[in-house]
Amino acid sequence: MLDFSLSAEQTQIRETIRSFIRREVMPLEPQVLRNERAGRPALEPGQLRELQFKARQAGFWGINTPEEYGGIALGPIMTSIVTMETGRSFVPFSFGGAADNILFSGTPEQQQEYLLPTIEGERLSCFAITEPGAGSDARNIRTRAVRDGDDWIINGEKTFITGGNEADFVMVFAVTDPELGANGGITCFLVDRDMGWKSDPIPTMGEWGPASLVFQDVRVPHRNILGEPGQGFALAMQWIGLGRIVIPSHAIGAAERLLGMAIEHAKNRVSMGHPIAEYQAIQWQLADSHVEIESAKWLTLFAAWQLEQGRDNRHASSIAKLSGAVMANHVVDRVLQIHGGMGYTKELPIERWYRELRLLRIFEGTDEIQRRSIARNLLKGHAKLGELGG
C-alpha cells in the first residue's frame, strides 16, 4: 500500500522550520520591501548571518550537507519540503552550512581551500556556464581555456550569473578541447576573483541581481580543475539537476502563501453587499490555484523521491520544474486579480512576488527546454506511459 504521509520526524522538522520562518523571517518583510524600493540590499550580510546562526542553534545547519562536513544531510525529499517552507517568505533567507553540490567533487586540497570555507560562510561562490550565445543550449558555450605549462589561460564572457557580483570565486565552465564537444571537451575550473575576472551587475525587472563575468587572459593553475579534465558538462548537469527540484519547491511555498492571502482577502472584501468569496468567479480562481499547487507539490516530491532512491530523475525533475514554474505564475496572477487595484500597488507585496516568480519560467532551463526534454523522452521511449514509480 502506498503511504504519502510524512514520518513523525519529518513532520517535526517541517513544523519547526515553519515556526522559525514565521517567527524570525517573515517579520523582516516590511524592512526588505523598504530596502529594495530604496535601491539597497534586501538584507545586509550581517543580518543574514545572524538569522543563519539562530537556525544553527536550533539544529538547522547544512540541510543537504553530508554529516562528515558538519551538516545534517536531510536528503532530497526533506530538502524539497524545507525549501517549500523558506519559499513562504520573499525575504532572501537560506539556511547556512551549504555549498554547491559539485564542490564535494574537489580534491582534498580544493575542499580545504574552497568547500569548507564556503560551508562555514567564509567564502562565496557562483556557478558560471550561461553565456550571451549559450543559455538553454549549454553545449554551445564558447569560453575557452588553453593550456600553458602548468596553467590554463581563460578567455570569454558569462552572463546572468547568480551571486556573480558578490562571489570571491567562481566555478567556470570552459571549452578545453573543441574537437570533443560537450562530452569530453568542457572543463570546470575554480577561479578566485583575484586571479583577474571582472563582474558587472545586470539590472532586471525583479529583485534578482545577476552579473556578467568577463575573463580576459585569466591565468588559472592546473590544480584548480574541479573533477576530471573534459568532464565539466557532466558536473554542470549534476548542479542543474538539483535546481530543478529546488525551484518548484520554492514556487510551491510562495504560491501557498499567496493563496492564503487571497482566501483571507476574499472573506473580508465586500462588494455589492457580499464578501467576494461568495462569488463563483472568485471561488473558481481559489479552487484552480489549490489544484495546481497540489499537483505541482506531488510531482516535485516524486522527483525528489526518485533522486533519494538513486534513480535517474531527469524526466521527473523536468516535469516538476515546468509544472511548478507555470503554476506559480498562474497563482500569483489570480491572487493579484482577486485583490484588484490594491494587488497592483506597492502597498502589498503581491507585485513583488509577481516579478520574482516570472523568473522561474526562464532560469535553470526555460519552459520550452523542459517541454523539449519531456517530448524527446517520450518520442525516444526513455519515458513510458502508464508506469508507476519510474
The candidate with the shortest Cα–Cα distance to 215, out of 177, 158, 272, is 158
Interior angle at CA 119, CA 117 and CA 122, nearest 5: 40
pLDDT values of the chain reduced to their tens digit, one per residue, 390 residues: 577 888 899 999 999 999 999 999 999 999 999 999 988 888 888 888 999 999 999 899 999 899 999 999 999 999 999 999 999 999 999 999 999 888 999 999 999 999 999 999 899 999 999 989 876 666 788 999 999 999 999 999 999 999 999 999 999 999 999 888 778 899 999 999 999 999 999 999 988 889 999 999 999 999 999 999 988 888 888 877 677 889 999 999 999 999 999 999 999 999 999 999 999 999 999 999 999 999 999 999 999 999 999 898 999 999 999 999 999 999 999 999 999 999 999 999 999 999 999 999 998 889 999 999 999 999 999 988 887 766
Q: HSE on the CB side for 75, CA within 13 Å? A: 13
CATH of the structural domain 8-99, one choice from 3.60.70.12, 1.10.540.10, 1.10.10.10, 1.20.120.450:
1.10.540.10
How many CB atoms lie under 10 A from the CB of residue 147?
11
What's the confidence (pLDDT) of residue 375? 96
261 in Cβ contact with 338 (< 8 Å): no
Bridge partner list, 274: 271
Q: Is the entire prediction scored with pTM above 0.95?
A: no
CA distances from 293 to 49, 279, 335, 357 (A): 31, 22, 13, 14
Name residue 260's amino acid.
G
52 in Cβ contact with 119 (< 8 Å): no
Q: How many residues does the chain have?
A: 390
What's the confidence (pLDDT) of residue 179? 86
Please state the domain extents for the chain: 8-99, 125-226, 234-379
What's the confidence (pLDDT) of residue 138? 64
CATH of the structural domain 234-379, one choice from 1.20.140.10, 1.10.10.10, 3.30.420.40, 3.40.640.10:
1.20.140.10
What's the confidence (pLDDT) of residue 133? 80
380 CB burial (10 A radius; 0-12, 13-18, 19+)? exposed
251 CB burial (10 A radius; 0-12, 13-18, 19+)? buried
Q: Of 122, 364, 368, 387, which is the active-site residue?
A: 364
Give the contacts of 9 (CB within 8 A, at least 6 positions apart): none
219 in Cβ contact with 151 (< 8 Å): yes
Distance CA 11, CA 78 (A): 10
> Is residue 364 annotated as part of the catalytic site, yes or no?
yes
Name residue 348's amino acid.
L
- 125-226: in CATH 2.40.110.10: yes
